[in-house]
A and B are shown apart, each in its own frame.
Chain A
Amino acid sequence: MEKKTVLRKPAGFLDVYKHKPGAEKDRTHYCPGCGHGILHKLIAEAMEDLEIIDDTIIISPVGCSVFAYYYFDGGHFQVPHGRAPAVGTAVSRANPDKIVISYQGDGDLAAIGGNNILQAANRGESIAVFFVNNAIYGMTGGQMAPTTLEGQVTTTTPYGRNPATDGLPLRMAEIINQLEAPTFVARVSLHNPANIRKTRAAVRQALQNAKEHKGFQFVEVLSMCPSGWKQTPVNCLKWIEEKMLPIFPLGTLRDRSAEATPVVRPEPVLEPGKVLEKLGLTEDKSRGFARGTVAEEYSEMSIRIAGFGGQGIMSTGQILAQVAMEYGYNVSWLPSYGPEMRGGTANCSVNIQDDTIGGAEAVSPNMVIAMNRPSMEKFEKTMVEGGSLIYNSTLVEISPSRTDIKAFPVPITGLANELGDIRVQSVVGVGAYAAVTGMFRPEDIIEMLPQFFKGKNKSIIDLNASAVRAGYDYVKNNF
């Protein structure tokens, strides 16, 4: 960089403040002696010197600096109160090659947006945060901020901030410094030329890091608010030195600029062919099983499957629906996901039919698969006349009360137990269903087992194949 021979309005500012309403598009809206203008100037100068004006996105949430977008060159987001770090997270991820600046006040950053700043810092988002701490809410007219000093009079602490009721000032730089991810954390001040120069150095370090995409930068800047403090600008300088510095010590709390590695974000895949390839959707994996002859009474199925949690109720239903889909039926599966699901019992509804499926819940099923006694007692009552009830005779020691339905007592748990693993009882149930209805061939179900038990080894698949057969054969041999 060539040595400067003139210090003038930096090029990081717009020549004409085109977004500013009214006639005065050549000067700021800030009050006399406000620290924002000084920090703005340091940022604008760094933008110019680091040659990032055309790559900088500035986020201005609510506060006096909500109008930062009037002044800076670059892209701009005006955002809700406190949310700049959340917005900035998405902006930096969407624009990984850009520099994202979040310019926030103390109410914004430390109060309403407290969680947002912590979490963005903790994720190490590529954002340079400039945090103006002037111990007060400026824009809304001088109310207490989280950084307001003990005893400080504001419009909402008319008797002075009382630690017993209002707490003590939040030291944000120290809080941010507790986190692992941030790259650079500093607290600086604008109360005299020497400190302004330290602020200038911190701003430049933060933006240099941002230019190199080195994660999260946090610069807390102690700043004057003559209007809010009801003091002359020059007296404000003294107030910072005497009152704020003891509470908010200055210094670089952390500088990992040298060792930080740039954040790299690859381009999203959008090309259709690549999308399908990456998602494994390039080939049609549907099987298209040919249907056998299905009795009229089983051509349109409304099924309720119920039992204890852990009996594989949900997967029994899903397997039935998956297999039926491969036979070309319309299917639906609906779990009892509601308040019941944590109560140790489970049920689901499956519909299998050629017509469009209406209500998905099997309110009046023509098939119930009851894996335990409470389920049989509850759901046999709901069945349509002539429906089929498959119940787990291993656990259900009574007979159904309904005589106008067809009952198929199948020792489902027992058959699974004989195979050596009661976890396969859900698949025994599927086999029994296939035999009762004639809807599925057992070999078709077995063909699909690897799909249902993805990642499981062959012995598990074989065990389940035996379970399908066991349920199927039991029904065929006994009814």
Chain B
Amino acid sequence: MARTLMKGNHAAVYGAVMAGCTAYYGYPITPASEIAEGAAEIFPKLNRTFLQAESEIAAINMVYGAAGSGRRVMTASSGPGISLKMEGLSYCAGSALPCVVVDVMRGGPGLGNIGPEQSDYNQVVKGGGHGNYRNLVLAPNSCQEMCDFTMLAFDLADRYRNPVFVLTDGVIGQMMEAVELPKPVTHIPDRSEWAVCGTPLNKNLINSIYLDLDDLERWNMALDAKYRSVKENEVRYEEYLMDDAKIAVVGYGCVSRVLRSTVEMARARGIKVGLFRPITLFPFPEKQIRAFADRGVEKVLTVELSTGQLVDDVNLSLQGTLKSDLYYRVGGNVPSALEILNRISELYGV
């Protein structure tokens, strides 16, 4: 299929459409609104549901309803809206409902601003809402990946019956690139065993309440087992010139693009820098980062648009094996490749 120039936010809509998402429930917020706008334009052409909900909370509960009805469904928002969705996400996870949420991160805390940030990392990657649950989290760094990962997110959501996040930032959401649209799916997994749908109606129960203490413990353990399986099977990451790298830079989303330029500039100066880019933030590529030392990496610099959220996971993975540093910009600022290279020179005397 032809390549089309489109915003990352619109690419996410196409990914959802091609994945067979039949319902979009959302609320406007910059810099994510183009996802709702795109869905509003495209979904009705396919008799699919687009609804601008009365609130972010309503939107995620509509997602809960559609998911429990066996439909592929999504919503999208940005930090303040994601905060509001946490209760519903906990219910989705607690009721084992597959759904997809796109978070186009902006500056915080509070109202912050609409510039790009990555400060929703903890609330999205660590669960955010109440109870023992995790979101699967994919972090695209291009418009093509906004499309592809949104599509992939629906498969993962079905495979694990769990919310899956596409966690991106204002830069990726707002930028335009050529996107090659994937083909629409031909098959959507059968949900009749658990969903409330079908004719005759599958009289199932969508539920997260377990009054019996042991029942709830057993359910939590089942969820935990699921997340262990996710950790075992779904780690995704990308490397660029890591094989002979002495310094590894770690970053995701729009930062990983800048870091790629940093690596090229560093290499031009003869500094052996490599890029490690986590694609899944949960599951986090722990083993791969833990293996840095064995591969000859000596220093690790995490770069993020948050004041030290990603770096916590990097450090947990490293388990103290390597010197680890953090460089961040926030408030809507994105560091330049040269700025990061200068930081590398300062830190490591190269």
In the complex they form, whether A and B have CB atoms below 8 Å apart is answered with yes
Known contacts A21-B212, A331-B5; A93/B49 CB under 8 A:
yes
Residues of chain A contacted by B337 (CB below 8 angstroms): 358-359, 363
* B93 vs chain A, min Cβ distance (A): 13
A360 partner, pick from B53, B171, B206, B208, beta carbons under 8 A? B171
Of all chain B residues, the one with the shortest Cβ separation from A118 is B54
A269 touches B48 (CB 8 A): yes
* B56-82 interface code vs A (CB 8 A; 1 in, 0 out): 011101111110111101000000000
Residues of chain B contacted by A119 (CB below 8 angstroms): 53-54, 58
Asked if A69 is at the interface (CB within 8 A of a chain B CB), the reply is: yes
B47 partner, pick from A269, A279, A284, A359, beta carbons under 8 A? A269
Kindly name the residue among B115, B207, B332 whose own CB sees the greatest number of chain A CB atoms within 10 A.
B207
Residues of chain A contacted by B65 (CB below 8 angstroms): 59, 77, 79, 86-91, 94
Residues of chain B contacted by A74 (CB below 8 angstroms): 201, 203
Known contacts A83-B61, A337-B31, A363-B337; A78/B5 CB under 8 A:
no
Asked if A400 is at the interface (CB within 8 A of a chain B CB), the reply is: no
Of all chain A residues, the one with the shortest Cβ separation from B209 is A78
Closest 6 CB pairs of A and B: A90-B65, A358-B261, A94-B69, A75-B196, A87-B65, A359-B258
A83 partner, pick from B2, B58, B183, B196, beta carbons under 8 A? B58
A430-457 contacts to B (CB < 8 Å): none
Asked if B268 is at the interface (CB within 8 A of a chain A CB), the reply is: no
- Of B16-24, B281-289, B307-315, the segment with at least 4 beta carbons within 8 Å of chain A is B16-24
Residues of chain A contacted by B171 (CB below 8 angstroms): 334, 360-361
Would you mind naming 29 contact pairs between A and B with Cβ atoms under 8 Å apart? A19-B207, A21-B215, A66-B209, A76-B206, A78-B207, A79-B64, A87-B62, A87-B65, A89-B51, A90-B64, A91-B66, A91-B68, A93-B23, A94-B71, A115-B54, A115-B55, A119-B54, A266-B47, A268-B47, A269-B47, A270-B46, A278-B46, A321-B176, A330-B178, A334-B174, A334-B175, A337-B170, A359-B258, A360-B171
Cα of A118 to Cα of B47 in the assembled complex, Å: 25
B181 touches A281 (CB 8 A): yes
* A351-375 interface code vs B (CB 8 A; 1 in, 0 out): 0000011111101100000000000
Kindly name the residue among A19, A69, A279 whose own CB sees the greatest number of chain B CB atoms within 10 A.
A279
* A223 vs chain B, min Cβ distance (A): 22
Known contacts A75-B204, A334-B171; A358/B260 CB under 8 A:
yes
A337 touches B206 (CB 8 A): no
B64 touches A87 (CB 8 A): yes
Asked if B269 is at the interface (CB within 8 A of a chain A CB), the reply is: no
- New contact pairs (10) apart from A94-B71, A270-B22, A332-B177, CB-CB < 8 Å: A83-B57, A89-B62, A285-B2, A321-B176, A331-B176, A334-B175, A335-B175, A338-B115, A357-B177, A360-B254
Asked if A55 is at the interface (CB within 8 A of a chain B CB), the reply is: yes
Cα of A310 to Cα of B194 in the assembled complex, Å: 54
* A371 vs chain B, min Cβ distance (A): 20
B61 partner, pick from A86, A318, A364, beta carbons under 8 A? A86
Which range contains the number of B residues in contact with the other chain? 35 or more
A94 touches B260 (CB 8 A): no
Residues of chain A contacted by B55 (CB below 8 angstroms): 115-116
Asked if A97 is at the interface (CB within 8 A of a chain B CB), the reply is: yes
Asked if A54 is at the interface (CB within 8 A of a chain B CB), the reply is: yes
Residues of chain A contacted by B226 (CB below 8 angstroms): none
Cα of A332 to Cα of B178 in the assembled complex, Å: 8
Cα of A54 to Cα of B212 in the assembled complex, Å: 29
* B25-53 interface code vs A (CB 8 A; 1 in, 0 out): 10000110000000000100111110101
Cα of A267 to Cα of B113 in the assembled complex, Å: 40
B62 touches A90 (CB 8 A): yes
A333 touches B69 (CB 8 A): no
B176-229 contacts to A (CB < 8 Å): 176-178, 181, 183-186, 188, 196-197, 199-209, 211-212, 215
A90 touches B201 (CB 8 A): no
Asked if B98 is at the interface (CB within 8 A of a chain A CB), the reply is: no
Residues of chain A contacted by B73 (CB below 8 angstroms): 90
B257 partner, pick from A87, A95, A278, A358, beta carbons under 8 A? A358
> Which A residues lie at the B interface, using CB under 8 A?
19, 21-22, 54-57, 59, 66, 69, 73-80, 83, 86-91, 93-95, 97-98, 115-116, 118-119, 265-270, 272, 275-276, 278-279, 281, 284-286, 318, 321-322, 325, 330-335, 337-339, 356-361, 363-364
B170 touches A358 (CB 8 A): no
Cα of A333 to Cα of B176 in the assembled complex, Å: 5
B58 touches A115 (CB 8 A): yes
B175 touches A332 (CB 8 A): yes
Known contacts A95-B69, A279-B45; A325/B184 CB under 8 A:
no
Residues of chain A contacted by B95 (CB below 8 angstroms): 78
Known contacts A94-B65, A97-B199; A80/B205 CB under 8 A:
no
Cα of A333 to Cα of B88 in the assembled complex, Å: 35
Residues of chain B contacted by A54 (CB below 8 angstroms): 200-201, 203
Asked if B276 is at the interface (CB within 8 A of a chain A CB), the reply is: no
Cα of A318 to Cα of B175 in the assembled complex, Å: 10
Residues of chain A contacted by B254 (CB below 8 angstroms): 359-360
B63-122 contacts to A (CB < 8 Å): 63-66, 68-71, 73, 87-88, 91, 95, 113-116
* B24 vs chain A, min Cβ distance (A): 11
Of all chain B residues, the one with the shortest Cβ separation from A286 is B2
Residues of chain B contacted by A364 (CB below 8 angstroms): 336, 338
B196 touches A95 (CB 8 A): yes
A57 touches B196 (CB 8 A): yes
Residues of chain B contacted by A278 (CB below 8 angstroms): 45-46
Cα of A335 to Cα of B2 in the assembled complex, Å: 24
B203 touches A75 (CB 8 A): yes
Cα of A461 to Cα of B115 in the assembled complex, Å: 35
A76 touches B199 (CB 8 A): no
Residues of chain B contacted by A73 (CB below 8 angstroms): 203
Cα of A359 to Cα of B262 in the assembled complex, Å: 9
Cα of A86 to Cα of B63 in the assembled complex, Å: 9
Asked if B155 is at the interface (CB within 8 A of a chain A CB), the reply is: no
Cα of A356 to Cα of B178 in the assembled complex, Å: 12
* A210 vs chain B, min Cβ distance (A): 14
Residues of chain B contacted by A322 (CB below 8 angstroms): 5
B196 touches A76 (CB 8 A): yes
Asked if B334 is at the interface (CB within 8 A of a chain A CB), the reply is: yes
Cα of A57 to Cα of B3 in the assembled complex, Å: 44
Cα of A268 to Cα of B87 in the assembled complex, Å: 29
Kindly name the residue among A77, A78, A285, A331 whose own CB sees the greatest number of chain B CB atoms within 10 A.
A77
Cα of A281 to Cα of B54 in the assembled complex, Å: 33
Residues of chain B contacted by A91 (CB below 8 angstroms): 65-66, 68-69, 196
B3 touches A76 (CB 8 A): no
* B264-284 interface code vs A (CB 8 A; 1 in, 0 out): 100000000000000000000
Residues of chain B contacted by A357 (CB below 8 angstroms): 177, 257
Known contacts A54-B201, A86-B65, A333-B176; A339/B184 CB under 8 A:
no
B62 touches A284 (CB 8 A): no
Of all chain A residues, the one with the shortest Cβ separation from B188 is A270
B5 partner, pick from A93, A267, A275, A333, beta carbons under 8 A? A333
Known contacts A80-B88, A86-B53, A91-B65; A332/B176 CB under 8 A:
yes
Known contacts A87-B64, A332-B176, A363-B338; A284/B1 CB under 8 A:
yes
